[in-house]
Amino acid sequence: MDLDRLGAMMQQRLDNLNRNLDRRVNKLGETLSERFDKLQCAWSQQSNELQESLARRIDESLDRSRKLRESSFERLNQRYEALLERGHNTLIQRNNELQESLTECLHELMLRQSKELQESSVRQLDDSVAQRIKVLQKKLDRDMIKFHNKAIQPQSDRISDRLTARDTGIKRGFQYLDKQFNYTDARAHTMEIGTRRKLNNVSQQLTRMETRLERVETVKSERVEAGEDPLDVEIDNSRIILPNPNIVLLNQRSKLSSLIHYNRLQQEVIRATTINDRSFTDTKLEYTEEDLNRAISSNAWEVVTVLGRRLGVDCDALRDQILRMQFHSQKNASTKRGGNNMSNTNERAAKAYRPS
C-alpha cells in the first residue's frame, strides 16, 4: 500500500514536472518567437535606414556632382567670355587705330586735292565771272530802266491820286463828324434840361405824397359815432395802419397803442422790441404804459408786424407790394412824361441842328 501511494505520488510529481516543463518550454518558445520578431523588425528598420542613408548619400553625391558640373561650366563660360571680351577689345582697339590712321590719310589727301581744285576752279571762275558780271550788269541796267518806266512810275502816280482823293474824303468826314458832335452836344443839353424837369416833377410828387400821407384821418372816431361794432372798427383801423410803411413818420402811436390794448399784445410787443435790452427779463409779467410807449417809439414797425401776426396779415409782404406798386406807378408816370418831353425836345433839336 505504501509503495502504491509512493508510486502514485511520484507519478503525480512527474506529471506536474512535465506540465511545468511544457509550460516553460512554451513560454521559452513564445519569448524566442517574440525576440525573433523584434530582431526581424529591428533588422528591417536598420536595413531601411541604411537604404535611406545610402539613397541620401547618393543624392547628395549627385547634387554635388551637378553643382561641380554647373560651377565648372560657369567657370568655363566666364573664362570664355573674358577671353572673348579681351579679343573683342583688342580687335576694337586695332580697328579704331586703323580707322584713325585711314581717316588721317584720307583727310590729308582730300585737303590736298581740294586745295588744288579750289585754286584751279578759282582761276577759271575769275575769268568767266568777270565777263558774266559785266554782261549781267548791262542787262540789269536796261531792265531797271524799263521796269521804272513801265511799272513804278504809273503805280506811283496812281498812289498819289488815291492819297489825294482819300485826304479829301477824310476832310469831308471830319467836317461831318464836327457837325454830328455839335448836334449831339445840343441833344445832350436838351436831355439835361429834360432830366432836371423830371427831377423837379418827382420832387413835387414826393412832396404831394407826403402831404397826402400827413392828411390821413383816422376812421375810428367816425365809425364809433355812426354806431358800428368796435371790433370791426379796430380791425378796419388795423387794416389802414398795417399797409402803411411810413407809420413812424405819421406818428400814429395812439392808434397802435389802442389796437395793442384791444388785442392784449402788450407783453408780446415789449418782448419783441426789447430782445437786446437786458433791463427787461422774461420773468417780468406786468408792463407799464411807459414801457409800451417806449417800445412803440423805439421800433414801431416791429409792433406793426406783431399786430399783423395776430390778425393774420403779412406786413412785410404788404409793405413790399405797396412799395413796388408806388415805384411802378411813379416810373410809368415819369416815363410817359419824359417820353413826351423827350420827343418834343428831340424834334426841336433835330429842326434846329439838322446836319446839311
What is the arithmetic mean of pLDDT over 41-61?
85
Q: What share of the chain is helix, strand, coil (3-state, %, to 5)?
A: 90, 0, 10
Over the chain, what is the mean pLDDT? 73
* pLDDT (mean) for 306-315: 77
Average pLDDT, integer, range 43-60: 85
Q: pLDDT of 161-186, one tens digit each?
A: 888 888 888 888 888 888 888 888 78
| Lowest pLDDT segment from 40-54, 255-269, 285-299, 322-336 | 322-336
In the predicted structure, residue 54 carries a pLDDT above the cut 70? yes
Question: If you average pLDDT over residues 187-210, what whole number do you get?
Answer: 70
Would you place residue 277 in the very low, low, confident or very high pLDDT band (cuts 50, 70, 90)? Answer: low
CA distance 255 to 261: 10
Would the pLDDT of 14 be above 70?
A: yes
Nearest Cα neighbor of 260 from 298, 326, 305 is 305
Under the banding of pLDDT at 50, 70 and 90, the label for residue 286 is low
Mean pLDDT of 109-128: 82
Most confident of 93-97, 155-159, 240-244, 245-249: 93-97
The total number of residues written for the chain in this structure: 356
pLDDT band at 294 (very low <50, low <70, confident <90, very high): confident
Q: Is the pLDDT reported for residue 264 higher than 70?
A: yes
Query: With bands split at pLDDT 50, 70 and 90, how would you rate the model's confidence at 2?
Result: low
Amino acid 233: pLDDT: 46
Contact 228, 276 (CB under 8 A): no
- Residue 26 CA, chain-centre distance (Å), reads 104
Indicate if the pLDDT at residue 189 is higher than 50: yes
Q: Are 247 and 300 in contact (CB under 8 A)?
A: yes
Cell of 193: 434840361
| pLDDT at 199 exceeding the cut of 80 | no
- For the chain, report the end-to-end CA distance as a whole number of angstroms: 196
How far CA 150 is from CA of 110, 136, 143, 147, 161, in Å, comes to: 53, 21, 10, 5, 18
Overall average pLDDT of the 17-45 stretch: 85
Q: How confident is the model over 318-334, as pLDDT tens digits?
A: 777 767 776 766 766 66
Q: What is the pLDDT of residue 238?
A: 45
